[in-house]
Structure 1
Amino acid sequence: MSDVKTSPAAEPQTAQPPVRPIAWPAGVAGVVLVIAGSFLSWSYDGSILNDLSIDFYPGGLQILAIIAAVLALVLLLAERGPLTAMGTWLDATLGLRALGAGLTLYMALIVVAISVESDGLINVNPGAYVSLAGAALILACAWMLPLRQLRDLSKARLPAWSEILAIAVMMAAVLFGAAYALGLTDAWSFILCLLFFATVIVALVRTGVITWFGHVGQRHKKVLTLAAFVVAFFFPFTQGGSDANMSIATQVLIFAATAIGLNIVVGLAGLLDLGYIAFLGSGAYVAAMLSESAFATIDWHPPFPVVVLIGACVAATLGLIIGSPTLRVSGDYLAIVTLGFGEIFRLAMFNLDGINGPLLTNGPNGIPGIPELQIGGFNFGDEHTVAGLELGRFSNYYFLLLILIAFVILVFARLNESRIGRGWVAIREDEKAAEAMGVNVFGLKVLAFAIGAFLAGLAGTIKAHQDAAVSPDQYIFLESAFLLAAVVLGGMGTIAGVLLGATILKLLPEKLRFFSEYRLMLFGLLLVLMMRFRPEGLVASRRRQLEFHEEDEELAVAVEEERLIVEEAK
């Protein structure tokens, strides 16, 4: 049988492709070998990879291999067994191929890691080879299985309580997965953990589970949003009071909030801004100058809510100042102008030192010693005990940043669905056509710059207190480039995509510090691969996908159906 899928409507749904007799037993044998090998010792040296040297006591990486094997067994049972009804909806074969390939690579890298860390393959115990053989057997089985003709997943519905339960299980898996990954201090273990998560995600995408989950999320948007924030809220309680991990989490939230603001400018309005970090810096400098630091240069210390508004408004004003004269140009010219603005801001902060200009920023020394935030009687620098768990200062800032990012997401979502958002999208698609249709192109461009700058200024005021210092070196062009990369990598015009892109670009450099010399090379390689294989981003809207895959007729039909559903809802 050909490996090319036919349309679901092309043949009767009862037609079942033949299965090679040896394929299914081989896959089950592979699952058994992976699980059996995971209960045996993988390494002679117990000091590496968080100790995989004890028989019948699986370590963390061994448990991950067992989970992958169980998932493979589920897909095999969907191919032939009690779960075949599920197999008519989900593409078990493609998922099994992805899972088999990822698990084989996972086990091969574990063998490499053990040999590198302990000076030789002689230190790899038989359990690792048994699991590697099992993974290879699963992969071979997957390529022997034929592809199925599937039903339309948009019509796959479960009772409402079951779908809500699926959302809860998915969110719980995200919470515990993130907690486990951040708890890994060994670089090899972290890389292998990332490979495992990538394998599972790709397998779920190939089977169609993610597509089905997307339909479920559309039907239960409020539940999904609430579940996501509940997971984010409980995240600090999984870290055992670790300030290191919570520091990374707060940096991710600041970066994500700023990137969503940039997403308005780039993702919706289509304006390439290479100096966006200046708006974050302006909010941070306002908060520093109005703080009670001994190095603050303004003798006025208003309450923090007032500082937040002032910092955001100053950033928005800068957005108007840079936008008004420059937004009459576009494309490469606009990118050059905004790049220049970012550098002007940084150099201005150097020169406002009381010698070359007014004493506002202390020049290259910046403003250190910024005190902890205090709102009412709550000091964000104090430790608190909740349900017997210690929450440090970074946890306090984390909860404040959750409120901020909820506000930023709300603003972005409302604007995206509004008449203003449609105007921005029209400008992004074809500025001349939008202007011919009566869209106020210049006004909407300036508004995009101002709102994006306002949101970045909000994040900057909190960042100043969390970092306890500001200096010009924090706001260099490279930071603007990373913000733009988060938007492009995640998916322009989407919220979930930008959050994912910001998390990847902030988390990986922190956890993979031994790659510090090659960080930019790896970052560039990642972007090149993305532009080659998924130019629309990791999480892209269907309309954005269609721009890059015009030949995909099924996607075009799905986009049209989505448009009709939205119109009917209105």
Structure 2
Amino acid sequence: MTVAGRVRPLPAALLVTALLAYPFVDRALQAQTVHAVTDAMIYVLLALGLNIVVGYAGLLDLGYAAFFAIGAYTMGLLNSPVLGSPLYGHAWSFWVIIWIAALVSAGLGVVIGAPTLRVRGDYLAIITLAFGEIIPVAIRNLGDITIDIGGWRPVERLNLTGGENGVNPVGRPQLPGVDFDTDFIPWYFLILAIGAGSLWAMSRMRDSRLGRAWMAIREDETAADCTGVNPIKTKLLAFALGASFAGFAGSFYAAKLQAITPGAFEFNVSIMLLCMVVLGGMGSLRGVILGGMLITLFDRILLAQMTSLIRSVGRSVGIPALTNVDLTLWRWFFFGLGLVVIMLIRPEGLAGRRLRPPAADVDEGEEDLALVAAPARPRAEAIPRWLRQPAASAAVTDSHPVLEVRGLTRRFGGLLAVSEVDLVIPPRGIVGLIGPNGAGKTTFFNL
């Protein structure tokens, strides 16, 4: 699609034509796949948001479905006539609520991220996992709220979230001449427009200063901090923007289904979204789109068709065991198997950028030669005049240290890790730093 950052006109035109013509071809063929493809695009939007957190900033988030739920329930709370508050009703427009849901999710992403983003790696994953488990439980328990203050009940039996039954119905968008009630094609074009806008915004963010800061933190947080990047602020922005995409997708999802229940936002949704990002290629927009479409369509269409095919074969050949096969119950086995295969064959993902060419493309002798070959020395005329020094002047400068630091100190709160350290490294000398575990050697080098 692109060459050196420029879009190839012909493939782009063919892709746009195919996307615009698809729902009408589907209707003519009576394939009835528009509903599943629309759901796949919703999950692609979610995966794009998770890609900010996992792919760009390098933060392992195992509770991303919680923001999906927050966006969906924001739509349900503000656009459903069944809940018991004067605030809830059809006075709120879908077109307003969808932005409110994104802002609410982003705000909660900041609230959750602020105290947790100081931890890294497995600890961050555990905290986000706990958050993802708390939100569905809270939703289930907010269906019957009573506040009793010494016998005075300002709130009694308030149905805030519908509890286990969820919210049903949820209002749908209104546009003159467009039927969102019985026709799936308007939903397809709406999510297609939202996805195109999100993809454009994502590509701009990726190439911006903020996107470069995310990638710098992902590769080496200490080095990024030394170059002026604020790690906490940058990671908070990643969390907030990623959560806003989930809130946007959640509100759209609730309006499309016209009903939401807490069971739709369990831990397995977070894992499926993470599979989409990893399968397609972390940090790759094309990869995330490819991974999201493949996994969702495999789950919604291909597994059901394969189950139907196996059952029909079982009936035709008279094997009763085949007539009871249900491959949809094995979806997580197939997802896991696919991830293992991809990690073994192509660790960077289906559409990720290769960090090195395949071994088969490099001759073994040439590879060994490349590893030991020294870089070519520059010609004398290519060296600037101010860098050329006679041997005598070089001998004089040898008396100066290569590196000299004085009074190096580092504190972590009340813990003094490095205290008033002096270091002098002479030319052509070797200096060793020796100490027991916990003495502060790594902290010293990071400084």
TM-score normalized by structure 1? 0.55
Structure 1 residue 236 corresponds to structure 2 residue 23:
yes
Per-residue CA distance 1:77-125 (angstroms, 9 max, x = gap): xxxxxxxxxxxxxxxxxxxxxxxxxxxxxxxxxxxxxxxxxxxxxxxxx
Other-structure match for 1:250: 38
Amino acid of the structure 1 residue aligned with 2:338: L
Question: Larger strand proportion, structure 1 or 2?
Answer: 2
Amino acid of the structure 2 residue aligned with 1:373: P
Q: Could you tell me how far apart the structure 1 residues matched to 2:96 and 2:349 are?
A: 37
Other-structure match for 1:367: 167
SS in 1 for 2:79: coil
Contact 1:370 1:465 in 2 (8 A): yes
Give the alignment of 1:293-442 within 5 angstroms.
Answer: 293-295=81-83, 297=85, 298-300=87-89, 301-355=91-145, 359-376=159-176, 378-382=178-182, 393-442=183-232
Other-structure match for 1:528: 340
Per-residue CA distance 1:53-94 (angstroms, 9 max, x = gap): xxxxxxxxxxxxxxxxxxxxxxxxxxxxxxxxxxxxxxxxxx
Specify whether residues 438 and 223 from structure 1 end up closer, same or farther in structure 2 by C-alpha distance, changes over 3 A only: farther
Contact 1:373 1:379 in 2 (8 A): no
Q: Could you tell me how far apart the structure 2 residues matched to 1:331 and 1:222 are?
A: 42
Q: Could you tell me how far apart the structure 1 residues matched to 2:131 and 2:20 are?
A: 37
Contact 2:65 2:267 in 1 (8 A): yes
Structure 1: state its 5+ residue gaps: 1-212, 383-392, 558-570
Contact 1:535 1:548 in 2 (8 A): no
1:477 pairs, out of 246, 251, 267, with 267
Q: Could you tell me how far apart the structure 2 residues matched to 1:458 and 1:243 are?
A: 29
Count residues with an aligned counterpart: 330
Give the alignment of 1:177-216 within 5 angstroms.
Answer: 215=3
Higher RCO (C-alpha 8 Å, min separation 6)? 2
What is the Cα deviation at residue 320 of structure 1? 0.6
Per-residue CA distance 1:217-240 (angstroms, 9 max, x = gap): 855346544543332121101102
Structure 2: state its 5+ residue gaps: 148-157, 308-326, 371-447
1:279 pairs, out of 59, 67, 78, with 67
Q: Could you tell me how far apart the structure 2 residues matched to 1:549 and 1:435 are?
A: 34
Give the alignment of 1:507-522 within 5 angstroms.
Answer: 507-510=297-300, 511-513=302-304, 514=307, 515-522=327-334
Give the alignment of 1:104-183 within 5 angstroms.
Answer: none
Q: Could you tell me how far apart the structure 2 residues matched to 1:551 and 1:443 are?
A: 43
Q: Could you tell me how far apart the structure 2 residues matched to 1:315 and 1:406 are?
A: 21
Q: Could you tell me how far apart the structure 1 residues matched to 2:188 and 2:216 are?
A: 36
Other-structure match for 1:50: none
Contact 1:268 1:493 in 2 (8 A): yes
More displaced stretch, 220-229 vs 274-283: 220-229
Amino acid of the structure 1 residue aligned with 2:159: L
Structure 1 residue 488 corresponds to structure 2 residue 300:
no
What is the Cα deviation at residue 379 of structure 1? 3.4
Other-structure match for 2:323: none
Per-residue CA distance 1:245-290 (angstroms, 9 max, x = gap): 1110111000001100111111111111111111111111111111
SS in 2 for 1:374: coil
Q: Could you tell me how far apart the structure 2 residues matched to 1:552 and 1:334 are?
A: 39
Whose Rg is larger? 2
Contact 1:261 1:451 in 2 (8 A): yes
Question: Larger helix proportion, structure 1 or 2?
Answer: 1
Contact 2:94 2:171 in 1 (8 A): no
Q: What's the RMSD between the two structures over aligned residues?
A: 2.6
Contact 2:52 2:242 in 1 (8 A): yes
Q: Could you tell me how far apart the structure 1 residues matched to 2:239 and 2:75 are?
A: 21
What is the Cα deviation at residue 294 of structure 1? 2.9
Amino acid of the structure 1 residue aligned with 2:295: L
Specify whether residues 282 and 552 from structure 1 end up closer, same or farther in structure 2 by C-alpha distance, changes over 3 A only: farther
Amino acid of the structure 2 residue aligned with 1:546: L
Task: Quote the sequence identity (%).
Answer: 41
Other-structure match for 2:355: 546
